[in-house]
Structure 1
C-alpha cells in the first residue's frame, strides 16, 4: 500500500490510499500518525478502498509530508559517502563507523512537504541536498533484536536532509555534531510505501532500487539502495538500545554515495558545478518510493548575536 497526506478539495488535509492514478481519501481528521498509533494501516487501506470519503486524481494534488514524525534519527548507513567526503571535510573516516551505525537527531519542526519551496539557511553560502531513504516505525519497541527489527517498520519514504555545509563544518569543528547546519528543512515523501510493495526487490541487506538526484534537470546523483553498509535492521537494533522507539519515529539511512553536492566538491573541486542558489530546482527519485521536487528560494537574513565575551 501507498499512503499520502494531501490537501483535499473540501479544504482540509486528509490521508489517502494511492490506487493507480487516484487517491481514496480517509475520513477527515485522521492523520497517518493516528493510524500508526492504532496499528491500523491494513484496516485503513481496506476502508479507504471500500468506502472512501472521496476519490480524487493524484495528478495535480497538493501533497503534504505523509506524517509529522515524533523523532528523526539520521544514521550513517552508506560508508562510502563518508569516504568520498573526508578530504574536503578534513574529518578522516573513523574506524568506529564500521562498528555501529552512528546517528544524530534532526529537527522534526523542520519537516516540509515533497513539493514545498525550500529556503536557504540563514547565513549559508554552501547550501546542499542529501538523497536518502528512511524507515518509519510502526510497532513500538525497546532494545529490539536484530532478527525482529523489520517487524517494527511500517513503511519507507524518501528523505532529503537539506544541509548548510559551511555552517555544518564550522559547528562540527567543536565536536558537537551538526546543529544549525542541519536545522533548516527535512523533506519526507511523497508517500509512505509499505514493506510488501518493495519486498520483491530485496538484495543484500536492503533493496535493489535506484536513487537519483537532479539539479535543474541535470543528473548529479546516482546510486543504489542495496549499496548500503548498515541496513535498517541494524539501525533499528542500535537506535533502540536502552530506549524506546515509537510509532511515527523516522530512521534515516544517511546519504547514498554521490547523493549530495558536497561529495562532488570534495572529489572533483575543479569540475564542481557550484552550490544551490535561489531558483534552482532539485528533483530526487527513488524507484518504487516516488519523487520529490523542490524550488530553492532565498532565506531570511541571519540575526546578529551580541558582541560575545
Structure 2
C-alpha cells in the first residue's frame, strides 16, 4: 500500500494512494495516527475506503508523506565514503571506525520538503544532492523502542520512502573541520516522498540477508548521473534501526535515511573520484530527480539562495576563571 499526504486547494489530506487517486483515511485519521497504530492496522483501514471515489492524483499536490518525529541519516555505503573522502584529502580512504558500527547524524525535521518542491539553499558554491532510501517507523505492540535486536527492529519498519539530503558541501566542509556536524551544510532542506510504501509491499525485494535489493537512479535535468543497488549498504535497515535504538528510543514517525548510495549518488563523490567539479555544482533552476524501484520518483527544483545575516567570528577572550579575576 502507498500512504501519502497532499494539498487539495486549502485543505490537507492524508490517506492512501489507490491506483490513480488519493483516498483519505477513515474517521479523519492522519499519517501520525496510523503510524502509532502500526502496520497490522493498515489493511483494515484500506479495506474500509477501497470503494471511495477519492480525488484524482493529478489534481492534488503531494506533500512529504510524514511529519517526522526525528530524522537520523546514516552513512551506510562504503563507495560513497570512499568518494567523499577523496574529495576531502585526495586519498579516498575509509577509516576503520566506519566498519565497526553504523554512524548517523540528526538533521532538521522542520525543513522537510515534499515532491516537486523547490529547495531554498544557503549562499553556497557547492550545492549538492544525496540519493537515499529512508525507512519510516511505526508502533509495535508491547515494544518501547529501546535497545531493539535487529529481529525486533524489523517489525518497527512501517514502510519506505525516497530521501534527498540536500547539501552545501563548502559549508559542510568548514564545520566538520571543527570535529562536529554536519549542521548548516545540511539542515536547510530534506526532501521525502512521493509516498510511503508499506514494508509488506517491499518484502519481495529483500534478499536472503535482509538487504533491500532495488535499483536507485539520480538525474539532473533529465540526465543520468548516478545509479546503484540499495543492497550495497554495509548494514540492512533493521540493523540501522536497532543501532538507533541502542541506549536510546525510536518512536513512530521517526525517519532513518540509508545515507547516500554509491556510484554517483551525489556530486561530491564524483568530484572526489574525478579530481574536478564535474558535473558542476547545482544551480538555481536545476531539477534533480530520483527514481527508486518499487518506491516511485522524487523530484525537486533548486531555488534561489536565501541571504542570511552575517556570522561573527569568535571573539578573543582572556579565559578568566572568576568574575573578580582581572585576567591577562
TM-score category, normalised to shorter length = over 0.9
The answer to whether structure 1 residue 124 and structure 2 residue 130 are counterparts is no
Corresponding residue of 2:13: 14
Where do 1:26-45 residues align within 5 Å?
Answer: 26-27=25-26, 29-39=28-38, 40-45=41-46
| Paired residues of 1:31 and 1:67 also in contact (CA < 8 A) | no
Distance in 2 between the 1:94 and 1:44 partners? 47
Deviation at 1:79, TM superposition (A): 1.5
Gaps of 5+ in 2: 316-328
| Unmatched runs of 5 consecutive residues or more in structure 1 | none
Cα shift at 1:207: 2.1
Runs of 4+ in 1 over 6 A off after TM superposition: none
Match of 2:233 in 1: 228
Q: State whether residues 14 and 29 of structure 1, in contact with CA within 8 Å, keep that contact through their aligned partners in structure 2.
A: no
Report the alpha carbon displacement of residue 163 of structure 1 after superposing the two structures with TM. 0.4
Q: How does 1:192-231 map to 2 (within 5 A)?
A: 192-203=196-207, 204-231=209-236
- Give the alignment partner of residue 150 of structure 1, picking from 140, 150, 154: 154
Contact 2:218–2:225 under 8 Å retained in 1: yes
Structure 2 CA distance, aligned partners of 1:92 and 1:303? 37
Residues 277-292 of structure 1 correspond to what in structure 2 (within 5 A)? 277-292=283-298
| Residue matched to 2:86 | 87
Structure 1 window deviating more from structure 2 (294-303 vs 199-208): it is 199-208
- 1:271 is displaced (CA, Å) by 7.0
What is the aligned residue count?
305
CA contact (8 A) 2:87 2:275 kept: no
TM superposition shift of 1:241: 0.8
Q: Is the 8 A contact 2:8 2:59 kept in 1?
A: no
Q: Is the alpha carbon distance of 1:221 and 1:28 closer, same or farther for their aligned partners in structure 2, counting shifts above 3 Å?
A: farther
Instruction: Tell me how far apart the structure 2 counterparts of residues 196 and 101 of structure 1 sit (CA, whole Å).
Output: 25
Which is worse superposed, 136-145 or 26-35? 26-35
State the alpha-carbon separation in 2 of the partners of residues 308 and 102 from structure 1: 30
Distance 1:283 1:44, change over 3 A: same
Partner of 1:293: 299
**Aligned counterparts of 1:269 and 1:29: Cα–Cα separation in 2:** 53
SS of 1:244's equivalent in the other structure is: coil
Q: Would you say 1:159 and 2:163 are equivalent positions?
A: yes
CA distance in 2, matches of 1:231, 1:270: 32
Across the aligned residues of Structure 1 and Structure 2, the Cα RMSD in angstroms comes to 1.7
Q: What is the deviation of 1:87?
A: 1.5
Check the 8 A contact 1:143/1:237 in 2, yes or no: yes
Residue 53 of structure 2 is aligned to residue 49 of structure 1: no
Matched, 1:77 2:82: no
| Structure 1: distance between partners of 2:293 and 2:311 | 44
- The answer to whether the 8 Å contact 2:228/2:265 transfers is yes
More strand by share: 1
Comparing 11-20 with 87-96, greater Cα deviation is found at 87-96
Q: Secondary structure at the match of 1:292?
A: strand
CA distance in 2, matches of 1:28, 1:119: 36
Describe how 1:129-144 pairs up with structure 2 within 5 A: 129-139=129-139, 140-144=144-148
Structure 1 counterpart SS, 2:94 = coil
Is the alpha carbon distance of 1:198 and 1:302 closer, same or farther for their aligned partners in structure 2, counting shifts above 3 Å?
A: same
